[in-house]
Chain A
């Protein structure tokens, strides 16, 4: 521990510092479209959302770069420009995300950043992209607050926000004559759980005016043990038990509640449960009503585009795609549609940020999960159709099938422009177009 060590360490530190600066210099021989992708690669949301999203992105980008995607996306890359992805981890909190977003734009000079699963991260990064005047595409996060509390020019969200999930569930229950005189709820005690609960209860009170809320539980995020909560829910014996749990928490809740008879006593209703079907298998009680935050996975509608994603993803990853893979696929395809629209106007040059933003605003494009329309927030927030269904275990295929699927048009479950989601629900969901 003397001078020689010290010198070695000093040299090492200095070389790290210098090499990081030189590595940072962009060196591109051929013109490409550099796409920053931010998704959870570690942490609790990685298995459920982050990694499927990354796998989905890799599949879609590979196919686009090969020109192997079906119509109308058969052009190579984005209008002939190869896509060069830079993938980074969303784990580590909003402070780190803001920093890494700046690094992506300013140091790695990516053209567009696409990603973000956590609502907190979305809220934090949106104003930064706006300030830097760089294009940002949010692909998954649920909170309606992003465009309801602020106005952005450079920020887009290519998926519907969480209001749709809960309005869709209640509409499904009403359409299928599910009895709901009493309701209990279990949601995680953080923004997603609190907001989902508020939306579901508000929508339920509209379509079931006599519903009585009985047990309303908010265990903490990542609790994992739900013994007490299940006792309370079994004790209440409500007609319906609603939950927006996801990932490991949802799996734990299902595994612990089934032996205690909760699914037999109450109708279980889960707002975002498709991603736990492959790991749970026959442990998932039959007849559970679930949503997937869109017409995704086993609930997706047949189309050449959907077959391409479903089969290609399954062949590449050994498991069928769930919501996050669909959501990232639809945002990449949307960017491609915008880039090609911009290039058709500027004579085929690589589009600038402003040209991309102009092309993306109000855009509509087909995706594996249905038509995506940038209709809200002056053309910056998407609406999309949703599917809701019931589970049924299929012993032959050894997987949970989804039956009794019902689709709801985008304008049936999403608020119209200019209305805050919660006000729209509480005001009786005026202007919804269902058929």
Chain B
């Protein structure tokens, strides 16, 4: 895409952020865990958005990951945090494998609405299933790590923080490498003109399916993090407002920088939390004004604060992102 950070520098950045958690006040740790988990799923949306499709139903994979982990944890006592992330990613990925190829044939608003519809079907089924606690959901035990269990709340929070930052960080690095790869560039080409891509001998459907699968894996892992952080799952995971929030993060971040996704996600959590504390009656208004402000003053997202080159093939990106914003809730 452009001259940018070497992967080694990025790994160092991830390590630095992980260690910085040692110095953060306790309450920010779980907030940052949720922010990292939301960033991971929003990153998936950005990956998918490069093919020109926005999924309004990532809650489907988020919930699949969360419920998969929760059920396995309760049935077989699997509490290891790393194993739970892998299970979550697998659940999301498996579902993505089934749904992706079916849905890749559609594009634009049809794609968006179909993903939304599928997630709401899942939501409806979960609300009806009284064995899974219906709309109230159910609880799971706290996670452990490599056989160690953490009784000190701060240590437990730090463990989750570290894992979520590392996993999300590496996902971000992988996404950056992917964006620069041949496949990543072909994804961009699908968005510009999928007919021409087909004439070049590539299958646009396959490219969309693979990107969809990546987004689903990220969403499943993100569901596992959300579950570990709150130890409770309910059908709200699959509800459309949850999915909408992830698109919200992706819109805030813009698709220029992977790091922007993390910054946007953290900023959103902070604004939400503090507006809820100081303005309990109007916190939604504050969130809305925040989003409006970012759209008006940073139309290409928070990432445009530090990404400067916008001459090279950026015009089309802008045009496309504006379309996405128009559709975002």
Chain A: residues with CB nearer than 8 A to chain B? 1, 5-6, 8-10, 13, 16-17, 20-21, 23-24, 41-42, 86-89, 92-96, 98-100, 102-103, 105-108, 119-120, 123-124, 126-128, 131-133, 143, 145, 149-150, 189-191, 194, 221
Contacts and interface: CB of A to CB of B under 8 A. Distances in A.
B281 A94 contact: no
14 contacts: A17-B270, A20-B274, A41-B281, A89-B276, A95-B34, A95-B230, A99-B230, A100-B273, A106-B27, A123-B234, A124-B231, A131-B153, A190-B134, A221-B135
Nearest to B239: A93
Contacts of A21: 25
A87 B280 contact: yes
Interface of A, helix, strand, loop or mixed by DSSP: helix
Contacts of B322: none
Contact of A103 (B236, B273, B281): B273
B83 interface: no
Given A89-B283, A99-B273, A124-B231, 20 more contacts: A1-B297, A13-B305, A23-B274, A23-B278, A86-B277, A95-B226, A96-B276, A99-B30, A102-B27, A102-B31, A103-B273, A106-B27, A124-B139, A128-B230, A131-B142, A131-B153, A145-B136, A189-B128, A190-B127, A221-B135
Contacts of B281: 41-42, 89
Contacts of B236: 93-95, 120
B27 A9 contact: no
B130 interface: yes
Contacts of B320: none
A123 B273 CA distance: 21
Interface residues of B, number: 49
B45 interface: no
A120 B230 contact: no
A128 B284 contact: no
B280 to A, nearest CB: 5
A106 B299 contact: no
B325 interface: no
A164 B283 CA distance: 35
B298 interface: yes
Interface in B49-99: none
Contacts of B280: 41, 87-89
A346 to B, nearest CB: 25
Contacts of B138: 123
A99 B31 contact: yes
Contacts of B153: 131-133
Top 6 A-B pairs, shortest CB-CB distance:
A106-B27, A190-B135, A124-B232, A107-B27, A191-B136, A98-B230
Contacts of B31: 99, 102-103
Interface in B279-311: 280-281, 283-284, 297-299, 302, 304-305
B156 interface: yes
Nearest to B151: A131
B235 to A, nearest CB: 9
B297 A150 contact: no
A222 to B, nearest CB: 12
B267 interface: yes
B229 interface: yes
Given A89-B281, A103-B31, A194 B134 contact: yes
Contacts of A106: 25-27
Report which residue of B27, B270, B272, B297 has the largest number of chain A beta carbons within 10 angstroms of its beta carbon: B27
B229 A98 contact: yes
B271 interface: yes
A176 B25 CA distance: 60
Contacts of B274: 20, 23
Interface string B93-136: 00000000000000000000000000000000001101001111
B224 to A, nearest CB: 14
Contacts of B269: 99
Nearest to B135: A190
A102 B30 contact: yes
B234 A120 contact: yes
A193 B137 CA distance: 14
A107 B137 contact: no
Given A9-B305, A103-B31, A194-B134, A42 B230 contact: no
Given A93-B236, A96-B272, A127-B231, A5 B156 contact: no
A391 B228 CA distance: 48
Given A17-B270, A95-B226, A131-B142, A123 B136 contact: yes
A10 B134 CA distance: 44
B285 to A, nearest CB: 10
A9 B298 contact: yes
B255 to A, nearest CB: 17
Report which residue of B137, B276, B304 has the largest number of chain A beta carbons within 10 angstroms of its beta carbon: B276
B242 interface: yes
Given A124-B230, A189-B128, A107 B270 contact: no
A42 B134 CA distance: 23
A123 B137 contact: yes
A176 to B, nearest CB: 32
Nearest to A6: B305
A103 B27 contact: yes
